[in-house]
């Protein structure tokens, strides 16, 4: 056997950079293709890990219930003194003294002013003297009449003389009666020189001071007295509201609260509730043609003197009774661009539904429902931002009055509106 050896080539002794680069490139491509195959093979095989489903959102709901609900009307009103007297002099004279404290309480018959009574006492004395003179003349003519009655029987005097004496006696008797009346009038005028309180109550400022001249039955009063307990409250109701209420009564939607002694609760101008409950006393029968309102009057106790004449208040008056009312929280109601109201309801499958409703009047933080829902249904009041119709939810019953967003009536704004209405009415 013969072996032959080839001499090595010179280029085999040096590294081949070109072949090395090509080798590394092929190796990188192989690694990338291997990783891609692994990924594709993993995507094609089913995963054994369980898929987590999102939990249903929790929402607050209120369960609607039927209840007997009194329907109230909140009406603007004005306080009026139960009794008011303007004190005026009944005789003329100079004021000597003021006998009361301004702003204090006075009793009926209490002296208020003392006038200079010198001329009145003189008039009384003159009337007394005139009465004495008339009485003396009466005695003379009565004696003459008795004597002539005996003389005429024996024809000692004429029949004419007898009759004249009888007439003179009767005239003397009338003169005495006139003198007595004059004396009584003088005594009354003397009594009027001391001006007394015609009623009990709180007295106002005095319009005169000692030294002022006052005249009988003058136009300007000397002072005012008002009785503050109880107080009248005059409030107005729109004739349109009254007609709607009567239509509701006639249709049987509400039951009428009978009687003129309906309770009336007041809200003061600062928004606080007045602690004493009044009674409705009078309901007007004539509509104000300018304002379109009917006036009603209530009598309210005022033992603490909180109410003063001329205060603006709001009167809460019961106008009807809904025996099977359903109340919907106001914050559960939304409206579209046309003003149509709707609510979100959780049905028996815990699925959210959108329900169109018809609403009546507002009662506190609720709406009185007319149509669209039934008792026992669950209405969403919390968590609106997490749900939409068709979603499954977990319903959590929430008190209907929790986090109420209803805005109360602003009593100061209502009082301002009533002031403007009174000013325009004048």
Residue 414 to residues 156, 266, 268, 417, 420, Cα–Cα distance (Å) = 95, 13, 11, 5, 10
Integer Cα distance of 234 and 312 in angstroms: 10
Per-residue pLDDT, 374 = 83
- CA-based max dimension of the chain: 225
* pLDDT < 70 positions in the chain: 1-54, 238-261, 282-292, 319-320, 400-426
The two beta strands, 66-87 and 312-329, are antiparallel
What would the pLDDT profile of 98-127 be if each residue is shown by its tens digit? 988 888 889 999 999 999 989 899 999 999
Q: Which residues pair with 66 in a beta bridge?
A: 326
Computed over every residue of the chain, the mean pLDDT equals: 77
Report the chain's C-alpha Rg in angstroms. 50
Per-residue pLDDT, 417 = 57
Q: Which domains are present in the chain?
A: 63-81+227-425 (2.40.30.170), 89-114+193-220 (2.40.50.100), 117-191 (1.10.287.470)
Per-residue pLDDT, 258 = 56
Per-residue pLDDT, 45 = 46
- 3-class state of residue 75 by DSSP: strand
Per-residue pLDDT, 185 = 92
What would the pLDDT profile of 75-86 be if each residue is shown by its tens digit? 788 888 888 899
Quote the strand ranges of 255-408, DSSP E: 263-267, 278-283, 293-300, 312-329, 334-335, 341-346, 352-363, 366-371, 378-382, 393-397
Per-residue pLDDT, 389 = 86
pTM (predicted TM-score): 0.56
Contact 325, 255 (CB under 8 A): no
């Amino acid at each position: 056997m013969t072996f032959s050896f080839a001499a090595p080539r010179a280029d085999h002794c040096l590294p081949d950079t070109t072949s090395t680069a090509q080798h590394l490139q092929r190796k990188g491509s192989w690694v990338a293709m291997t990783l891609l195959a692994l990924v594709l093979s993993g995507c094609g095989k089913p995963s054994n890990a369980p898929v987590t489903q999102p939990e249903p959102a929790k929402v607050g709901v209120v369960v609607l219930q039927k209840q007997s609900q009194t329907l109230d009307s909140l009406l603007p009103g004005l306080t009026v003194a139960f009794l008011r007297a303007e004190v005026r002099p009944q005789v003329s004279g100079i004021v000597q003294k003021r006998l009361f404290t301004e702003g204090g309480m006075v009793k009926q018959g209490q002296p208020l002013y003392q006038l200079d009574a010198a001329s009145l006492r003189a008039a009384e004395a003159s009337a007394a003297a005139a009465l004495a003179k008339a009485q003396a003349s009466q005695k003379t003519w009565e004696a003459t009449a008795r004597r002539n009655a005996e003389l005429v029987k024996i024809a000692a005097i004429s029949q004419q003389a007898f009759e004249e004496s009888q007439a003179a006696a009767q005239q003397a008797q009338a003169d005495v009666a006139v003198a007595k009346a004059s004396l009584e009038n003088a005594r009354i005028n003397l009594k009027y020189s001391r001006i007394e309180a015609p009623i009990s109550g709180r007295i106002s400022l005095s319009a005169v001071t000692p030294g002022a001249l006052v005249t009988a039955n003058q136009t300007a009063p000397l002072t005012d007295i008002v009785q503050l307990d109880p107080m009248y409250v005059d409030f107005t109701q729109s004739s349109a509201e009254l007609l709607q209420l009567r239509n509701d009564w006639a249709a049987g939607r509400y039951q009428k609260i009978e009687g003129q002694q309906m309770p009336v609760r007041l809200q003061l101008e600062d928004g606080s509730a007045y602690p004493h409950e009044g009674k409705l006393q009078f309901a007007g029968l004539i509509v104000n043609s300018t304002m379109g309102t009917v006036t009603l009057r209530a009598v309210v106790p005022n033992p603490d003197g909180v109410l003063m004449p001329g205060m603006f208040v709001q009167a809460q008056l019961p106008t009807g009774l809904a025996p099977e009312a359903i109340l919907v929280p106001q914050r559960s109601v939304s409206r579209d661009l046309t003003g149509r109201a709707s609510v979100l309801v959780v049905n028996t499958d815990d699925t959210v539904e959108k329900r169109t409703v018809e609403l009546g009047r507002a009662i506190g933080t609720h709406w009185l429902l007319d149509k669209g829902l039934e008792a026992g249904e669950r209405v969403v009041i919390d968590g609106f931002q997490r749900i939409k119709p068709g979603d499954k939810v977990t319903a959590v019953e929430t008190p209907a009055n929790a986090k109420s967003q209803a805005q109360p009536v602003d009593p100061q704004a209502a009082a301002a509106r009533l002031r403007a209405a009174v000013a325009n009415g004048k």
